[in-house]
Structure 1
Amino acid sequence: MTGGGLYTSRADIYCRHSAVGTTSGITGVSCDAAADLPLTGFCTEHETQLLHLASDPTNNGWPGNSIFPAAITCIWTDNTGTAVNTLTTSQAHICCIKHP
């Protein structure tokens, strides 16, 4: 039995992943369209040094309606809060529901 909402099939769910690595310290990825509903998003890295996210990666178009697709933006810092630009393993991930 399906509900009466817009999203009634698992086929409507999709995930996107950014390229691996960055020389700017930022990796990001978005849903395909502004009307698509973001479900989850996260940042990964496997660097040898201890890193922290500089800000909430889901703060990109998730609350409210937007003319831009919801996005994940990963900005990394080291233990002292200094930005780390070159990351060979950083990646952003997002899963969304396609709006019909």
Structure 2
Amino acid sequence: MALATPGIRGGRPERSPVVSVPPARQRWLLQPLVDAGLTDDEIADLVVGLAFDGVVAGRAPAPGRLDAMVGQRPAAVRAAWFEVLDRMTAAGADAPG
């Protein structure tokens, strides 16, 4: 049974993870979006949308789709989103946990 983990900002548990990722790495992955001012729900919408697109397509979403997910947002949010994507796909040498 998976244990609930604290919210992105360390608040009360809201969801149980399906994949076990150390909490420090979760925070590191998503920190750019937090720093850009997105709410937990906005971050969840982006990440769930990314995962859903990947499952439905059976492969990573096309670059144009990744851009469209944040296309109407301020430049700082778009930059943070692409930083998160980079962190997700990088080897993780700089990642904590």
TM-score bracket, shorter-length normalisation:
under 0.3
Greater helix fraction, Structure 1 or Structure 2: 2
Greater strand fraction, Structure 1 or Structure 2: 1
Q: Which protein is bigger by CA-based radius of gyration?
A: 1
Specify which structure has the bigger relative contact order, considering alpha-carbon pairs within 8 angstroms and separated by 6 or more residues: 1
TM-score by length of 2: 0.25
